[in-house]
Structure 1
C-alpha cells in the first residue's frame, strides 16, 4: 500500500514495470472502472442481443489485452482501457453464470474465490512474490491479469449477492463495502497486515464497492435506484475516467526517462 516513486521502483526491481504505482488517484480510477464495467455490461446485454453483447465484451477484452501485452512499459491510456474491458467482461462472466446457467450468487462467489486463491497460489509458488511493483516479465503480467479478471468476477458475484440475494439493496451494499474497504488500510497501518495482502484485499473490495453505487444510480426506482439509466451512468463514469487518466498520463510524461512504477 506504500507509494514508491518511479525512481525507487526502478531501483527495487531493476527494470520497467507495466502497471502503475499505487496512489490515491489509482484507487479512485480503479473504483470508477468497476462502476463503468458494471453498468456497461448491463447496458450491452439489455439493449443489444445478449449473445452479441457478451461477444462485444469478449472482443473488447481481447483487444485490450493485446494492446497491454504489446506495451513495453506502463502506458496510462492502454493500462486503464485494459482494466475497463476486464471490468466489463468480468461482470459478464459472473452474470452469465447466474442469469443463463442459474448458478446462485453464493455458489459463484465461492467458486470465483477458489479460482482467485488458486491463481495466487500458483503465482506465489512460481514467482516468489505477489507484489505488483514486480510485474516486469510477461509471465508475471499473465498472472497479474488473471488475478485482476478473477477479482472482477468475484466482486461482481459478491456485490450481487449482498444487493439481491441478501436483500440489502444497492445503496446499502455500496455503504457496506465502503466500510469493508477501510479494513485493510486500518490493519496495514496497525501493522497487522502486510502491504501485499492489504493491497489485494482492498483491490477485491473495490469491485463490489464501485459496482453497487453504479447500479444504485442506474437501476429503476422499483429496484431501489435513482433510475438514471445504465447508458448515461456508463458515459458519465467513462468521461471522468478519461479526464483522470489524462492527468495520470501527464504525470507519467513528467518523469524523466523510462518509468517503472508500482
Structure 2
C-alpha cells in the first residue's frame, strides 16, 4: 500500500460527512422536513412560534452535545442534528418575522448580521471557516452555531421571496434553484474559494427547502398543495432515512 501524502497522514478523524452530491440531496430534503415539521408543531398543533422554538431549541442543543461528544462520525446523528437546526430555524425565523412584527426584511437583516458575526468570530478565533478544519470541540461549536443561523436566515429569505416579493412558492423555488445552479457552475469552472461556495450553497439550500415545504403544506388558495404537514413530514423523514442507508456516508478528512 502506498504511503499517504503528509497532508493526509496528519488528518484527524472527522464527525462531518464528505460534501458530495448525496450530501446536498439529503440537505435539501432535511431543510424541507424542517419547514413542514416546524410548521406542524407551531401551527398544526397550535403551540405558537415561541413554544415551538423552545421545543426545537432544546432538541437542537441535545443533538449538538451528542454530536460533539461522539468519538467518530455517525451519519444518523449528524443528519438528526441538521434536521434539528432546520426545525428550530423555521420556528425562530417565523417568531422573529411575524410575532415580533419585524417583518421579513428586518428579520432577514438581523439574521444575516448574526450569521456574518458567527463566521467572523469563527475565523478570528480559529483562523478558518472551512469545514475541513472542523476537528475540535471549539470548531464544532462554531460549525453548528453558524449552521443554525444559516438555516434561520434561509427560512426568512424563503418566506420573504415567496410572500413579500410576490414570486409565490414555485417562482421562489425556481429563483433559489437557479442560484444553486450558478453556484455549482462556479464551483466546476472557476477557482473561486471552495469555502465561500460551500457556505453560499449551504445557505441557498435552506430557502429552497423552505419554499418547497410551504408549497407542499400551504392551502390551495395560498398557492400550495394543501397536503397534511404530518404526512409530508413523515414522507420526507422516510426519504432521508433511505438516502442515508443507500448513499454511502463517509467522514470528511479534516486537517490539523
TM-score by length of 1: 0.89
Query: Partner of 1:74: helix, strand, or coil?
Result: coil
Q: Is 1:171 aligned to residue 170 of structure 2?
A: yes
Residue 238 of structure 2 corresponds to 239
Q: Which runs of 5+ in 2 are unaligned?
A: none
* Deviation at residue 59 of structure 1 after TM alignment: 2.3
Deviations 1:164-219 (A, max 9, x none): 11111111111110001112222222325211111111110000011111211111
Residue 135 of structure 1 corresponds to 134
Q: Is 1:46 aligned to residue 19 of structure 2?
A: no
| RMSD of aligned Cα (Å) | 1.9
Residue 33 of structure 1 corresponds to 30
- Any residues of structure 2 matched to 1:68-83 within 5 Å, and which? 68-83=67-82
Q: Number of residue pairs matched?
A: 249
Q: 1:193 to 1:9 in 2, by over 3 A?
A: farther
* Deviation at residue 75 of structure 1 after TM alignment: 0.7
Q: Is the 8 A contact 1:220 1:227 kept in 2?
A: yes
Residue 84 of structure 1 corresponds to 83
- Any residues of structure 2 matched to 1:1-262 within 5 Å, and which? 11=8, 14-48=11-45, 49-50=47-48, 51-248=50-247, 251-252=249-250, 260-261=252-253
Find the aligned partners of 1:196 and 1:244 in 2 and give their Cα distance: 25
Query: Partner of 1:80: helix, strand, or coil?
Result: helix
Find the aligned partners of 1:217 and 1:159 in 2 and give their Cα distance: 14
Deviations 1:116-163 (A, max 9, x none): 111111111221111102110000001100110011011001000001
* Deviation at residue 260 of structure 1 after TM alignment: 4.8
TM-score by length of 2: 0.91
Q: Is the 8 A contact 2:17 2:249 kept in 1?
A: no
Q: Which runs of 5+ in 1 are unaligned?
A: 1-6, 253-258
Q: Is the 8 A contact 1:97 1:108 kept in 2?
A: yes
Q: Is the 8 A contact 1:18 1:261 kept in 2?
A: no
Q: Is the 8 A contact 2:183 2:197 kept in 1?
A: yes
* Deviation at residue 91 of structure 1 after TM alignment: 1.1
Find the aligned partners of 2:172 and 2:222 in 1 and give their Cα distance: 13
* Deviation at residue 99 of structure 1 after TM alignment: 2.0
